[in-house]
Amino acid sequence: MKTITLADMQQQSEAAANSPRLRQHRNLHPELSDPVQRLAIAMEPGTYVRPHRHPHTFELLLPLRGRFVVLNYDDHGKVTHRAVLGEECTALEMAAGTWHSVLSLDNGGIIFEVKHGGYQPVTEQDSAPWAPAEGEAGTAELVQWYAQAQVGDTY
């Protein structure tokens, strides 16, 4: 049996808070080639998740602790859907190929993700060309925009 205990979540959140990227993964799948990827991601406010898509798989998100803004976009960066997991929504599934980003609203937030595997890193082609890459100028401003963005807005 695999579990994620409250103590595990506390330890994972502390590791995320001390990480340069403000994130920490805990995989439940035994290896990266597993056909179903299942992982808890501790995300602190301020971590930057560049808008991206997974052309090969759906993505299911569930908040374990905290609240998360999830934005979906069209090909030009216009917001098509907005949900706040852990507040108005307890589960969200996006179709394969959906442009999306995630923002942690709370310290100690942990989101659970399920998608088809094996693990495939996001390619440049599947990273939004209208958003800066991690480490580039403008990421902090985009993170702030995520918190306020509404359906119909374009960054």
- What string of pLDDT tens digits covers the 155 residues of the chain? 999 999 999 999 999 999 999 999 999 999 999 999 999 999 999 999 999 999 999 999 999 999 999 999 999 999 999 999 999 899 999 999 999 999 999 999 999 999 998 898 899 999 999 999 999 999 999 999 999 999 999 98
C-beta separation of 149 from 71 below 8 A: yes
C-beta separation of 62 from 112 below 8 A: yes
Q: What is the pLDDT of residue 88?
A: 87
C-beta separation of 151 from 81 below 8 A: yes
- Which residue spans within the chain are E strands per DSSP? 23-27, 36-43, 59-65, 68-73, 79-85, 92-94, 99-104, 109-116
How far apart, in whole angstroms, are the C-alpha atoms of residue 15 and residue 1? Answer: 24
The terminus-to-terminus CA distance of the chain in angstroms comes to 44
| Alpha helix positions (H), the chain | 6-17, 139-148
Strands 68-73 and 99-104, sheet pairing: antiparallel
Helix (H, G, I), strand (E, B) or coil at 86: coil
Q: What is the pLDDT of residue 15?
A: 98
